[in-house]
Structure 1
Amino acid sequence: MLTIDIGTMRNLLLILCAIALSTAELQEDTQPRKFPDGFLFGSATSAYQIEGAWNVDGKSESIWDHITHRIPCVLSNCDTGDVAANSYYLYKRDVEMMRELGLDFYRFSISWTRILPTGFPDKINEAGKNYYNNLIDEMLKYNITPMVTLYHGDLPQKLQQIGGWTNPEVSNWFSDYARVAFELFGDRVKYWFTINEPKETCNQDFATGFKDLSGIADYLCAKHVLVAHGKAYEIYNNEFRASQNGNVGIVLSAMWYEPESDKDIEAAEDAAMFEWGQFIHPIFSETGDFPNIMKERIANRSAEQGFPSSRLPKFSPEEVALVKGSADFCGLNHYYTFITYRNESINGLYESPSYHDDMNVITYTPNDWKNTESASTNVPWGFYKLLTKIRNDYGNPPTYITENGFDSMADGIVDDNRVSYYKSYLNAMLDAISEGSDIRLYTAWSLMDNFEWGTGYKSKYGLYEVNYTSGKFERVPRKSAYFYRNVLKTRVLDINFEPDMSVPICEEN
């Protein structure tokens, strides 16, 4: 007979009540809901995940080229991005898909090594420059706004070999690269994202190569990423803004951390500050710098462990000023919500020193949130709470939802789970907007199936399915593409809308 102690039962009831109440609030109104005037819709990809052509036309090796060619291989099925979705050659089809959906904009990234093969601005690769010029011009031909990410995970391997993001000189390497991109494309590109997901940039052990230096290398990386962003923003302000009149921001990945019970509110706040607060706080808070909880916790733990000073590097006053306010908007990638707690079971759970030992929380995903065909969970109330917290804690900055989407492990174009996901998350976003959150655009991840980093091609986020076996990389619209097209066409969220896939998406009026 199964027995559950009173404390466990209380916590379980608290979780279930929170979920039920939040879900009820978000799903109460099933009537069509209109998006604000001027609200923009788009989709996104990144260079390494779709372009392929990894070593042609002068492109040099990135860290992901290097990682995926290791022997023995370190990724699922030994997948690589060598060919990916072949977008280097099929970019016109990609733009055609944007037209079919009716996108206002398309967010893509530039491959640093396709533009600057040495990693430095001593040599600009003409073929790489031409590729991005052609893509941008093809989009503008059909009034699709290009939004460009400068860095989406693919650091030049040559720079990685001399320390990469842990080398303080990286802020100059990156800002030099940013200047080249502004010069080459800024006459047509008016939305720039400096760095995508700095937390993942600094904490993916197999990507950074610093697996045994958690709690040291990741903090060095975090500081240098922020300074690099600040320098790129300053360059745009001083050298390009007057003539190009664009906007520059950063893209943060942010999960929602829900306390398991009332006594875990502090643990959930700590998780948020360590995970995404370490990047949003230096830019958008009134004080700048890392969050106080990070500075205090890491300093105390460092002293206990015998370090002569904190493992968290300090910003100089000049660096604090450089980074603070260095964004015209807050780019936000959101995928997951976690239940969070802290109790005596955490003692000895994490290696010390390490990032997770410093954060000192435990997170998990309840089984009833999980989907058998996906690593994604459908927890829209977490998205709503995240947007509300950013509004309340960081002065309601202009917020761009730069990624949001559903990961399916299943093949096929009838993706009802993804359609349901988009309906619920768009609904949650509208709730936040109705309460005053300054959210200006939404980006579905992803335009098409692509190389999904550590999971290779098993994970499928695409509105369009990509045929990787035919050799032609055909893109076929899923049911979610039809749904998203209707949202863009009507500027209304109708959660009762059922797409009709009998009519080809390119023939719909």
Structure 2
Amino acid sequence: MSVQVPREAGEFLVDTFPKDFVWGCATASYQIEGAWDKDGKGVNIWDTFCHEGGHVENNDTGDVACDSYHKYPEDVKLLKDLGVSHYRFSISWSRILPNGTKSSVNQKGIDYYNRLIDALLEANIQPFVTLYHWDLPQPLQDLGGWPNEALVEHFVDYARVCFESFGDRVKMWLTFNEPYVFCGLGYEYGFHAPGIKDTGRSAYQASRTVIKSHAKTWHLYDDEFRAKQNGKIGITLDSDCFVPKDPNSEADKEAYNTSFEFKLGWFANAIFGEGNFPKLVLDKVAAKSKEQGLSESRLKPFTEEEVKYIKGTFDYLGLNHYTTRLSTPGYKGGEADVCYLADRAVEEETDPAWERAGSEWLYVVPWGLRQLLNDIKTRYNNPPVFVTENGCSDRENAIDDVKRVFYYQSYINQTLKATKQDGCNVKGYFAWSLVDNFEWAMGYAERFGLHFVDFNDPERKRTAKSSAKAYTQIVKENGFKEKPANM
């Protein structure tokens, strides 16, 4: 059984992480680069989604964003000043392959990432590269997007170009960032690009394509590149921490398990567990499909051959975590609804005592990260984990961001407890985000950055916040040599 973490932060732990612990910051191409149509870059689904209008707060776009395409040397300096050892960024597929396929290699796009990688290495910062952070080339969406399994080969072709172009210097790779989000918000609810609402079907099909794309890319790297490039490759999955609303209720305990399997387990069970979607998820979707008069389940399991090919395709798990939910049985829609939420049939609530951040969904619950790391340890045999995103939003545009300072100190301290006291195999931590950026459907209204960006300034001036100074101190000490005065 996993460690049952008390539902409060508990005593602050004064201790340090292992000597080889990785510290970093994270960003994503569409959120910071700008230069959306410069130097041969093709159109991606977020370009299209934003330019259609009506999808993003204030009709903001990523056309310029932080202008990191031109200002990357400044971002490298920010990283160096923080003292981090690694920078997690993503490559824009459309900047490398403008039409999404290997027939359209754009050398100017490759040159940009070469400049960035070389600047990082010169600053003694290691690149930690995500191949896909939600910005699918529009021509591939025109083929049907992720629900179309033809994308498996296109993704593997794209990955090959990246390994060949950058793998001599990039030693840490991630295939996908948060497939739960881009499958669900992109194809189930339509809140994110490409804005499709095909409930109970397309997101499930997209998940099959993504998992198969990941597995084939892992095997490509393992078979053809690992020996000569000496790198590693994994995937980043996101999850809230889920706990039973009433820890003494068997129904709530079952609801917690359902929440976990329908979110993290949806992707993790295939790669880090049994090689297939979780049995609970398959059974629930199959039962609902049968009730709805369908001849087969809306979520097709992988074949025995596919299971063998997918299982174990990881060197590490990237984990994005922000907040916690209390699970209890229930679904507020109609019995005949064909959708993910009806399949899951769990209500996920929050505690009125929890403080909310600047995002409607983000509540500050530090112990949740420790509990989630323990759940991963128990369910997936303690794989190496990098916390590839963790952070706090605000809408106040504050330089003295005291809430974010507390968030980082408390969540990192819970990570320390999971590592040193619980034996969780945590290898590193990446703060989200290096700079304020385009926050998807929230545009520039919500800020996650350690550095304030003035989006009204054509120069996109960056200014260090109090959280940058606090994070620098944690990185320098490799943890906590004393309890912070504000804790």
TM-score (norm 2): 0.94
- Which residue number in structure 1 is paired with residue 24 of structure 2? 42
Which residue identity does 1:342 align to in structure 2?
A: P
Q: 1:264 aligns with which of 242, 252, 264?
A: 252
Q: CA deviation at 1:497?
A: 3.2
Give the counterpart letter for 2:355 in structure 1. K
1:59-70 equivalences under 5 Å are: 59-70=41-52
In 1: Cα distance, 2:262 partner to 2:387 partner: 21
Q: Which amino acid aligns with 2:368?
A: G
1:288 Cα deviation from its structure 2 partner: 1.6
Q: 1:468 to 1:367 in 2, by over 3 A?
A: same
Do the aligned partners of 1:423 and 1:495 also contact (CA within 8 Å) in 2? Answer: no
Aligned counterpart, 1:377: 363
User: Which amino acid in 2 is paired with 1:120?
Assistant: T
Which has more radius of gyration? Answer: 1
Counterpart CA distance in 1 for 2:252 and 2:20 is 40
Question: Structure 2 CA distance, aligned partners of 1:429 and 1:164?
Answer: 36
Aligned length: 474
SS in 2 for 1:166: coil
Q: Secondary structure at the match of 2:325?
A: strand
Q: Contact 1:230 / 1:322 at 8 angstroms: preserved in 2?
A: yes
Opposite residue 463 of structure 1, the aligned amino acid is L
For 1:233, the aligned partner's letter is: W
Offset of residue 193 of structure 1 = 0.3
Unmatched segments (≥5 aa) in structure 2: none
* Residues 209 and 138 of structure 1: CA distance in aligned 2, closer, same or farther (over 3 Å): closer
State the one-letter code of the partner of 1:417: K
Match of 1:239 among 207, 212, 224: 224
Residue 430 of structure 1 is matched in structure 2 by: 416
Query: What is the Cα deviation at residue 366 of structure 1?
Result: 2.5
Paired residue for 1:439?
426
Q: Distance in 1 between matches of 2:377 and 2:170?
A: 28
1:333 counterpart = 2:311: no
Q: Percent of aligned pairs with the same residue?
A: 42
Deviation digits for residues 14-60 of structure 1 (CA, Å, limit 9, x no counterpart):
xxxx99x431xx43145x32111110100000000000000010001
Q: Is the 8 A contact 1:350 1:356 kept in 2?
A: no
Cα distance per residue 1:131-182 (max 9 Å; x no partner): 0000000000011000100000000001001111010111111011000000
- Worse overlay, 312-321 or 329-338: 312-321
Give the partner amino acid of 1:178: A
Does residue 1:300 correspond to 2:287, yes or no? yes
Task: Name the counterpart of 1:314.
Answer: 301
| Displacement of 1:347 | 5.8
Match of 2:451 in 1: 464
Displacement, 1:349?
5.0
- Pairwise CA distance, 1:374: 4.7
In 1, distance between residues paired with 2:351 and 2:340?
24
Identify which of 140, 143, 168 aligns with 1:162: 143
What's the offset of the Cα at 1:340?
1.2
| C-alpha distance in 1 between matches for 2:358 and 2:131 | 33
CA distance in 1, matches of 2:270, 2:344: 18
User: In the alignment, is the contact (CA less than 8 A) between 2:49 and 2:193 conserved in 1?
Assistant: no
Residues 418 and 424 in structure 2, CA contact (< 8 A), matched pair in contact too: yes
Query: Is 1:267–1:340's contact at 8 Å kept on the other side of the alignment?
Result: yes
Whether 1:186 aligns to 2:143 is no
Are 2:399 and 1:393 equivalent residues in the alignment?
no
CA RMSD of aligned residues (A): 1.6
Structure with the higher helix share, 1 or 2: 1
- Who is 2:37 aligned against? 55
- Partner SS for 2:471: helix
Give the Cα separation in 2 of the matches to 1:402 and 1:351: 38
For residues 284 and 233 of structure 2, the distance between their equivalents in structure 1, rounded to whole angstroms, comes to 32
Match of 1:478 in 2: 465
What is the TM-score when the length of structure 1 is the normalising length? 0.90
Encode CA deviations 1:439-472: one digit per residue, 9 max, x unaligned.
0000000000000101111110000000111211
Contact kept, 8 Å, 2:357 with 2:392, in 1: the verdict is: no
- 1:351 and 1:226 map into 2 onto residues whose CA distance is 29
